[in-house]
C-alpha cells in the first residue's frame, strides 16, 4: 500500500527530481537504502522531538491563553511556527553551498562542459531539499491538517450553519456557495504554504551559492540570508500581532480602525503576516475569519488572494532556480 | 510548475470533498429550533406546533396540535391563558410554551427555553437574517430583540444583551452565544409594551457597531424617548 502510494507520488514529479535519477542519486548520496533499524531509530527521534515541541507549546500556550486550558490550536501554534522557520533555515543552509560543494569535489568544471549538467545539478540540489526535509514537512503538514480538522468541526456548529452566520451583513454580500469555494482555496493555500516557503528559501540559497565564491564569503552570504529570513519572519509575526488576537479570539479592534482609514494597510498586514509570518495559523479559524470578513470590505476574498500569493511565491521560486542555473552555466574567468 | 499545479489541484479537490461532507451534514440536519418548535416550513416559518396563531384556531385544536407535537399541558391561568410544559422524546424538559388566547382563539405563541438551550445563533440558523435587531434598557437590565416579519405574523426573540452596549465607547460585535429568554410568534398587538418607533435593520453578527439604538415608544402613555 505504502509502496504503491510512493510509486504514484513519484510518477507525478519530473524525472530529474526522481530519487532514482543518476544526478539525484549522486546529490542525495544514498546508494543503499537505510536499514530498518536505523529508520525506526530516526522515526523515534522525530517522535521524541515532536513530543518535546508540543510540551513546550503547551507550556507557552498556558501562559498566554484566556481559557482555563489551552486549546489544541494554541498548543500547536508556536511549535508549528518554529518548525516552519527551522525548515526554511535548513533549506537555505542546504543550497547556499551547492556550487561550493561541486567545486570542492572538483566536478564543477566538467559539469559546466556538459550540455545541461549545471542546470540539472542545481535543480537536483534544490529538489533534494524536499527529500532531506521530508520528515519536517511531514510533521508540519500533520499539524496543519489538525487546524483544518478543527475548522471543519467549527463549521458543523449550529447544525452546519456556522458559515451562514459569519457571512451575515458583510460587504459585499456573498452566497454560501461562493464562501465555501473561497474557504476551500484558503485551506489549499494553508496546506501547500510550507512546501512553497521551503522551495523559495532553497531557491534563494541557490542564487546566493552561484554568486558567492570561497568558503568565507559563502558563510557570510549564508549568515546574511538566514538573518534576513529571521528578520522577515519576526517582522511579519509582529505585524500580524498588531491586528490579530490570540488564536480563536478573533481580530483586534485596531483592524477595523485601520481598514476604515486605509484599506490597503489592513490588507498588507494580513497578507504579509500570513505569507511570511505563518499567521494563517491564527487566521484560519472561523471566528477570526468571520471578523476579518466583517471588518474589511471584500475581506471575504482573503482566501483566494492567499492562494494567489502562495502560487506566485512558487513561481518565483521556480524562476530563481532557472535564473541560478542560467547564471551558473555562463562561462567565468576562473 | 506542472507538479505544482497537480499538487494544488489535488489539495483543492481534497478540501472540496471535506467541505462537501460538512455541507451534506448541513443540508440533511434541520436547525435545532426548527425541530424544537416543530416548524412546518411548507405552512410558514410562523407555523409552530402545527398551527398558525392568527386568531383563527380554536383552543381545542391548538391543544391537540401541541399534544401531537409531544407537549403536555401543565397549568391554566384564567380563561385567556394556557401554559403547557414541553417535553421532547427523551423526556428532557426544554422549556415551556405559552399560548395566548383571545375569545377562545390562539393569537400569540411563546416558547421560553430553559437557560442556555437557545442562542441568537440558533435563531439565525433557523429563521435566517432578521428584519430588525435592537437593544434597550428596561427595568435595570439590558435586553435585545430580533424581529422577523411574515405574512401572517411576526416572530420575535428576546434575550439578555451585553451591558457594554450602553456604556462602552468602543464598537461591539453581536455574539452568536447571546442567550434567548423567549421566542414568540405574534400578532402586531403582541409586539410589546416597549418598542422602537422604527426598528433598526440587522447588520450582521461580526460587523462592529457602537450600538443598535432606537427611539422608543412606551404604550402606557409615556412620551417617546431615546437613549444612548
Q: Contact A180/B29, CB-based, under 8 Å?
A: no
In the prediction, which pLDDT does B208 show? Answer: 72
Residue B90 has pLDDT above 60, yes or no: no
Q: Contact A169/B1, CB-based, under 8 Å?
A: no
A134 burial (CB, 10 Å; 0-12 / 13-18 / 19+) is exposed
A145-149, B18-22, B30-34, B50-54: which range is least confident on average? B50-54
Query: Is the whole-model pTM more than 0.90?
Result: no
Determine contact: A148 vs chain B, CB below 8 A: yes
In the prediction, which pLDDT does B88 show? Answer: 56
Among all residues of chain A, which has the CA nearest to that of B30?
Answer: A159
- Choosing among A14, A123, A150, A158, which should be mutated to test the B contact, i.e. which has the most B CBs within 10 A? A158
Q: Contact B207/A170, CB-based, under 8 Å?
A: yes
Shortest Cα distance from A43 to chain B (angstroms)?
26
In the prediction, which pLDDT does A290 show? Answer: 92
A98 vs A196, B185, B226, CA distance in Å? Answer: 20, 74, 74
Who wins on pLDDT, B75 or A133?
Answer: A133
Going by C-alpha positions, the residue among A71, A317, A58, A72 that lies closest to residue A201 is A317
In the prediction, which pLDDT does B75 show? Answer: 58
Q: Contact B15/A291, CB-based, under 8 Å?
A: no
Q: Contact B19/A169, CB-based, under 8 Å?
A: no
Going by C-alpha positions, the residue among B108, B55, B61 that lies closest to residue B81 is B108
Residues 295-314 of A with CB under 8 A from B: 295, 307, 311, 314
In the prediction, which pLDDT does A125 show? Answer: 87
Nearest to B30 among A13, A159, A169 (CB): A159
Shortest Cα distance from A49 to chain B (angstroms)?
28
Residues 177-196 of A with CB under 8 A from B: 180, 183-185, 187-188, 191-192, 195
Residues in chain A with CB shorter than 8 Å from the CB of B29 are: 159-160
Q: How far is Cα A314 from Cα A249, in angstroms, rounded to an integer?
A: 31
In the prediction, which pLDDT does B166 show? Answer: 59
Nearest to A158 among B125, B204, B207 (CB): B125
Residue B70 has pLDDT above 80, yes or no: no
Going by C-alpha positions, the residue among B157, B154, B133, B119 that lies closest to residue A169 is B133
Average pLDDT over residues B97-119: 84
Q: Contact A168/B124, CB-based, under 8 Å?
A: yes
Helix or strand holding residue A46 (H, E) = helix A36-64
Determine contact: A66 vs chain B, CB below 8 A: no
Q: How far is Cα B67 from Cα A80, in angstroms, rounded to an integer?
A: 56
* Close Cβ partners of A151 (under 8 Å, ≥ 6 residues apart): A183, A187, A284, A285, A286
Q: Contact B29/A159, CB-based, under 8 Å?
A: yes
Residues in chain A with CB shorter than 8 Å from the CB of B26 are: 156, 159-161
* Cβ atoms within 10 Å of B188's Cβ, excluding its own: 8
* Cβ atoms within 10 Å of B72's Cβ, excluding its own: 10
Domain ranges in chain B are 1-30, 31-226
Residue % of chain B over a pLDDT of 90: 13
Q: Contact A188/B22, CB-based, under 8 Å?
A: no
Torsion of CA A230, A235, A240, A245, to 10 degrees: 80
A89-103, B126-140, B208-222: which range is least confident on average? B208-222
Q: Contact B19/A192, CB-based, under 8 Å?
A: no
Q: How far is Cα B118 from Cα A220, in angstroms, rounded to an integer?
A: 63
- Which structural domain range is residue A167 located in? 12-329
Size of the A and B interface in Cβ pairs below 8 Å: 116
B147 vs A90, A125, B11, B215, B222, CA distance in Å? Answer: 58, 65, 42, 16, 23
Nearest to B29 among A17, A160, A307 (CB): A160
Q: Indicate whether A6 belongs to any domain.
A: no
Shortest Cα distance from A183 to chain B (angstroms)?
9
Residues B50 and B40 sit within 8 Å (Cβ to Cβ):
yes
In the prediction, which pLDDT does A163 show? Answer: 93
Please, what is the average pLDDT of chain B? 78
In the prediction, which pLDDT does A113 show? Answer: 65
Q: Indicate whether A2 belongs to any domain.
A: no
Q: What does the pLDDT look like over A185-226, one tens digit per residue?
A: 999 999 999 999 999 999 999 998 888 777 788 888 889 999
Q: What does the pLDDT look like over A244-253, one tens digit per residue?
A: 988 877 888 8
C-alpha cell at A239: 505585524
Residue B22 has pLDDT above 60, yes or no: yes
Q: How far is Cα A290 from Cα B203, in angstroms, rounded to an integer?
A: 14
Q: A117-132 vs A72-96: helix axis angle to the nearest 10?
A: 150
Average pLDDT over residues B64-86: 67
CA angle A303–A142–A80, rounded 5-degree value: 75
Residues B217 and B196 sit within 8 Å (Cβ to Cβ):
yes
Q: Indicate whether A151 belongs to any domain.
A: yes
Domain count, chain A: 1
Residue B20 has pLDDT above 70, yes or no: yes
Q: How far is Cα B187 from Cα B109, in angstroms, rounded to an integer?
A: 9
Q: Contact A160/B26, CB-based, under 8 Å?
A: yes
Residue B218 has pLDDT above 60, yes or no: no
- Choosing among A144, A149, A157, A169, which should be mutated to test the B contact, i.e. which has the most B CBs within 10 A? A169
Q: Contact B32/A184, CB-based, under 8 Å?
A: no
C-alpha cell at A139: 510533521
* Cβ atoms within 10 Å of B109's Cβ, excluding its own: 26
In the prediction, which pLDDT does B213 show? Answer: 56
When mean pLDDT is compared over A1-15, A148-162, B49-63, B103-117, the highest value belongs to A148-162
Residues in chain A with CB shorter than 8 Å from the CB of B27 are: 160
In the prediction, which pLDDT does A304 show? Answer: 95
A261 vs A296, A299, B170, CA distance in Å? Answer: 11, 15, 16
Q: What is the mean pLDDT of each run of 10 residues along chain A (334 residues)?
A: 69 75 74 72 89 93 86 93 95 86 72 70 87 91 95 93 92 92 94 94 91 81 92 94 85 87 91 91 92 92 95 93 85 62
Nearest to A294 among B128, B170, B206 (CB): B206
In the prediction, which pLDDT does B141 show? Answer: 75
In the prediction, which pLDDT does B226 show? Answer: 42
Q: Is the ipTM of this complex over 0.85?
A: no
In the prediction, which pLDDT does B74 show? Answer: 67
Shortest Cα distance from A334 to chain B (angstroms)?
34
Shortest Cα distance from A179 to chain B (angstroms)?
11
Nearest to A165 among B12, B125, B207 (CB): B125
Residues in chain B with CB shorter than 8 Å from the CB of A293 are: 206
Q: Contact A191/B203, CB-based, under 8 Å?
A: no
Amino acid at each position: 500500500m505504502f509502496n504503491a502510494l510512493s510509486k504514484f507520488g513519484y510518477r507525478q514529479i519530473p524525472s530529474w527530481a526522481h530519487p532514482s535519477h543518476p544526478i539525484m542519486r549522486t546529490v542525495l548520496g544514498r546508494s543503499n537504502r537505510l536499514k530498518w533499524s536505523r529508520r525506526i531509530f530516526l522515526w523515534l527521534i522525530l517522535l521524541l522531538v515532536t513530543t518535546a515541541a508540543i510540551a513546550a507549546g503547551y507550556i507557552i500556550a498556558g501562559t498566554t491563553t484566556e481559557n482555563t486550558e489551552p486549546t489544541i490550536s494554541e498548543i500547536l501554534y508556536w511549535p508549528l511556527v518554529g518548525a516552519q522557520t527551522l525548515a526554511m533555515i535548513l533549506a537555505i543552509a542546504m543550497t547556499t553551498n551547492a556550487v561550493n560543494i561541486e567545486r570542492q569535489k572538483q566536478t564543477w568544471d566538467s559539469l559546466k562542459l556538459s550540455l545541461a549538467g549545471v542546470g540539472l545539478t542545481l535543480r537536483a540540489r534544490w529538489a533534494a531539499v524536499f527529500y532531506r526535509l521530508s520528515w519536517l514537512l511531514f510533521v508540519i503538514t500533520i499539524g496543519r491538517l489538525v487546524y483544518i480538522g478543527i475548522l471543519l468541526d467549527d463549521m458543523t456548529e449550529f447544525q452546519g450553519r456556522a458559515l451562514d452566520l459569519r457571512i451575515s451583513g458583510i460587504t459585499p454580500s456573498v452566497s454560501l456557495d461562493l464562501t465555501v469555494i473561497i474557504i476551500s482555496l484558503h485551506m489549499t493555500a494553508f496546506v501547500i504554504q510550507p512546501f512553497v516557503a521551503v522551495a523559495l528559501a532553497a531557491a534563494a540559497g541557490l542564487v546566493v551559492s552561484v554568486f558567492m565564491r570561497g568558503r568565507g564569503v559563502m558563510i557570510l552570504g549564508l549568515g546574511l540570508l538566514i538573518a534576513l529570513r529571521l528578520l522577515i519572519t519576526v517582522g511579519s509575526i509582529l505585524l500580524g500581532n498588531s491586528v490579530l488576537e490570540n488564536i480563536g479570539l478573533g481580530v483586534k479592534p485596531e483592524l477595523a480602525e485601520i481598514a476604515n482609514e486605509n484599506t490597503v494597510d489592513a490588507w498588507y498586514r494580513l497578507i504579509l503576516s500570513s505569507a511570511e509570518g505563518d499567521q494563517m495559523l491564527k487566521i484560519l479559524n472561523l471566528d477570526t475569519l468571520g471578523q476579518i470578513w466583517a471588518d474589511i470590505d471584500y475581506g471575504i476574498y482573503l482566501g483566494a488572494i492567499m492562494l494567489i500569493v502562495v502560487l506566485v511565491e512558487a513561481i518565483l521560486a521556480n524562476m530563481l532556480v532557472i535564473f541560478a542555473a542560467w547564471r551558473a552555466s555562463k562561462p567565468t574567468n576562473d | 510548475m506542472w507538479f505544482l499545479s497537480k499538487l494544488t489541484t489535488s489539495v483543492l479537490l481534497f478540501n472540496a470533498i471535506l467541505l462537501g461532507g460538512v455541507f451534506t451534514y448541513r443540508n440533511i440536519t434541520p436547525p435545532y429550533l426548527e425541530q424544537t418548535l416543530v416548524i412546518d416550513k411548507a405552512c410558514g416559518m410562523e407555523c409552530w406546533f402545527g398551527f398558525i396563531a392568527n386568531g383563527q384556531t380554536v383552543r381545542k385544536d391548538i391543544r391537540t396540535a401541541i399534544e401531537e407535537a409531544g407537549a403536555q399541558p401543565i397549568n391554566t391561568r384564567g380563561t385567556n391563558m394556557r401554559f403547557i410544559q414541553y417535553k421532547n422524546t427523551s423526556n428532557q424538559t426544554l422549556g415551556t410554551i405559552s399560548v395566548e388566547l383571545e375569545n377562545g382563539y390562539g393569537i400569540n405563541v411563546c416558547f421560553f427555553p430553559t437557560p442556555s438551550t437557545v442562542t441568537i445563533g440558533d435563531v439565525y440558523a433557523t429563521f435566517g437574517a432578521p428584519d430588525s435587531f435592537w437593544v434597550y434598557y428596561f427595568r435595570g437590565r439590558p435586553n435585545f430583540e430580533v424581529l422577523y416579519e411574515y405574512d401572517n405574523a411576526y416572530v420575535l426573540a428576546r434575550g439578555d444583551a451585553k451591558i457594554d452596549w450602553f456604556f462602552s465607547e468602543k464598537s461591539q460585535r453581536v455574539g452568536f452565544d447571546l442567550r434567548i429568554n423567549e421566542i414568540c410568534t405574534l400578532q402586531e398587538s403582541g409586539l410589546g409594551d416597549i418598542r422602537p418607533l422604527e426598528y433598526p435593520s440587522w447588520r450582521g453578527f461580526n460587523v462592529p457597531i457602537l450600538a443598535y439604538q432606537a427611539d422608543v415608544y412606551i404604550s402606557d402613555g409615556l412620551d417617546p424617548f431615546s437613549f444612548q
